[in-house]
Amino acid sequence: MKYSYKVVDKGTYYRKDVFRHFSEDCKCSVSMTARIDVTDLVNHSKKTNTKFYLNFLYVLSKVMNSREDYRMGYLWQSDELICYDTVNPTQYVFHEDTETCTPVYTEYDEDYDVFYHNAFADLERAKESREYGLDSANHPNWFDASYISWLSYDSLNIELPDGYLFFAPIINWGKYREENGRYVMPVSVRLNHAIADGYLVANVFRLLQQEIEAFSDKSC
């Protein structure tokens, strides 16, 4: 899998002091769960007879590629902070018969039609497998995008071992539910504190809301 990146100068990095602290003194992550309004996306999906899940995956992937803070990486061999040109979603297919998941690597494409077609095809192929098949070594610029379809939850926490500088975003979302005539959906965002703080985590939710509205309006 081809990918490209630029090396970030840690001496001029705009978060250099925060990066040093949370990559050396206090290695930890920041996670947050909030509900977003997906009414427009639900209605659009029904109107166009497209899958809500894939439409949200597209919007999410677009947000994750919208600014460098969500495309950061770390090369431990050379102690380099890097920024990928593009990050792609690792989605999952659940097998009812074995109650296990298979990771599905889908390349992000800004063209919605191309992305939707490829993501759907990737899922269909993965349904034939029962292997876990995670291959993160060959997919460094991929972020975790996992749908928890069985529950409209209120809180979710994903923990990683202390001292491990893992910068790829981990995004989860659950079932949407109706509240006061609107559809709301829980979304959880985890980012490494060395490259993100509360503002950058909260900003993902703001950007998701904006992109959902723009996507639904443009696609009507």
**Domain spans of the chain, in order of start:** 5-219
Least-confidence region, from 17-31, 41-55, 155-169, 177-191: 155-169
Phi/psi of residue 51, nearest 5 degrees: -80, 125
Residue whose token pair is 């899998």: 1
Confidence of residue 1 (pLDDT cuts 50, 70, 90): low
Q: Which CATH number is associated with domain 5-219?
A: 3.30.559.10
Averaged over 189-195, what is the pLDDT? 96
pTM of the full structure:
0.95
Task: Supply the pLDDT for residue 211.
Answer: 97
Contact 133, 93 (CB under 8 A): no
Average pLDDT, the chain: 95
CB distance 63 to 89 below 8 Å? no
User: Following DSSP, what letter does each residue of 160-181 receive, concatenated?
Assistant: --TT----S-EEEEE--EEETT
Query: pLDDT (tens digit, 9 = 90+) per residue, 116-163?
Result: 999 999 999 999 999 998 898 899 999 999 999 999 999 999 888 766
Q: Is the pLDDT of residue 201 over 70?
A: yes
- Percent of the chain with pLDDT strictly greater than 90: 90
Task: Please report the pLDDT score of residue 32 as a whole number.
Answer: 96
Which has the closest alpha carbon to 2: 70, 75, 85, 77? Answer: 85
pLDDT in tens, 40-94: 999 999 999 999 999 999 999 999 999 999 999 999 999 999 999 999 999 999 9
- What is the pLDDT, as a whole number, of residue 182? 98
